[in-house]
A = this chain, B = another copy of it.
Amino acid sequence: MPPNRRVTLKQVAERAEVSRAAASFALSGRPGVSDATRTKVLRIASELGYAPNQVAQNLRSSRTGMVAVYLPEDVSTLSYYMEATFGVIDEAEQSGHTVTLIPHRPTGLNRLQADGIIMLDPTRGDPMIGHLLDLGLPVISGEELPEPSDDDLPRPSSPQSLERSAEVAGLVTSDHAASTVELLEHFVARGARRPGIIASSVPMAWSMTVEATYRQWCADRELNPLVEYASLDGLEETTRRATRNLLDTGTVDAILALADGSALNVITSAAEYGRRVGEDLLVAATVDSPVLSYTDPAVTAVDLRPREFGRRCMSVLSRVLDAADASPDTLAEVVDTEVIYRASTRGTAGDR
C-alpha cells in the first residue's frame, strides 16, 4: 500500500496462502501449479502492485541486468550518439535490461557491472577499448573495431585474452561505402564535375571507409582526389583551413563533408568566395544532424538511422546473451541508411 515500501514475493504468497515457491511458479508462468492457484496468485500480485525486485533476481541468476554503452570521448556529432543510445534503451527495455553509460576514464572499471558492452564507433588509439575487451564480457561493436595502431601500448594480457579480444561477439555496421558512392553520383547527376572531400582525421572505421571510398571512386574516374582534413586538435581552426583550402583551388564544384561542423563551415563561408551553395557549389554531409536542416540552404546528408542502429546493437547483444554458450562466430548486421536530399545539392541539372 505505501508506495515507498515495495511489495515482496513473500507478501504475495502469504496473501494467496501458498508458499513462496508456488507463487514464484505461478508468476513466472511455468508448470507446477494448478490453474486455480495461478489465477489467484496473479490477481493478488496485481492487486498489491507486486513488481519483482530485480536486484534479488539478478543476484540469483548471477546477472546484473545491465548493459553498458561506451561512447567515444571526443565527438563532433553528438546527436548521432544520443539517438543511438536511446535506440539501445528502447530495445533494452524489451529484454529487461537497464542501460548504463561507461565513463571515459579507466578508474573503477573493474567495478563495472554489466552483462554485456556496446561500443559505438570505437576509436583507434583509445586505451579504453582494450580495457573493455579484456573484461571478459560479450562486446558488440557499433561500426568495425579498428586495428590497434603500432604506437598503441600492447595490452598486458595473457595469450588467452589476446585471442578473445581479436573477436567481438557481434558487429553492427552501416554501409558507408554505398552511401558515399550514392552522394558522389548524386553530385555528378546534379552537374558537378570535381567533388572534393573534407575528411576527418579521427581514426574511426566509418570515416576511414568514407575517405577510402572517395579515393577509389576518384581513381576509377582518373580524377585527382581533393582531400582536406579537419583534425581533432584545433577542430575549429583545422575545419576552417580545410574549407579555405578546398575553395581556394577554384576547381572544386562539390564538397563532401564528413562532420556536420565542416559542412556548416562550408555553407557559411561560401559567399566570401563568391560561391552559391546549391548552385555552383554543391555540399553534402555523410552524417545527418539536426543543424543541417536549419541552414539556408539546408544540407543534403546521410541519415544513418542512429536510433535503429542502437536498437540493432542491443538486439544482437540480447541474442548473444541468450545463446549463452554456443556462439562460435560473431553475429553481424548491417543497418540501412538513406540519403536525405536537400537544397544544398539542388544543382543546375533540372529538378530534384
Question: A: which residues have CB within 8 A of B?
Answer: 3-4, 49, 51, 53-56, 58-59, 64, 66, 76, 78-79, 81-82, 85-86, 89-90, 93, 96, 98-101, 103-104, 107-108, 110-111, 113, 134-136, 161, 236, 239-240, 260-262, 264-265, 267-269, 271-272, 290-291, 293-298
Contact = CB atoms under 8 A, between A and B. Distances in A.
A51 B99 contact: no
Given A55-B58, A264-B291, 10 more contacts: A4-B136, A51-B110, A66-B98, A78-B79, A86-B101, A86-B103, A99-B100, A240-B296, A261-B294, A262-B294
A3 B161 contact: yes
A269 to B, nearest CB: 4
A99 B85 CA distance: 13
Contacts of A86: 101, 103-104
A82 B78 contact: yes
A352 B52 CA distance: 61
User: Within the oligomer, what is the number of copies of this chain?
Assistant: 2
* Overall SS of chain A's interface: helix
8 contacts: A78-B82, A93-B103, A99-B101, A101-B101, A236-B298, A264-B295, A265-B296, A272-B296
Nearest to A50: B110
Nearest to A107: B93
A77 B76 CA distance: 14
A98 B112 CA distance: 9
Contacts of A290: 76, 78, 261
B110 A49 contact: yes
A88 to B, nearest CB: 9
Contact of A55 (B49, B89, B113): B113
A293 B237 CA distance: 10
Nearest to A269: B296
Contacts of A99: 100-101
B101 A293 contact: no
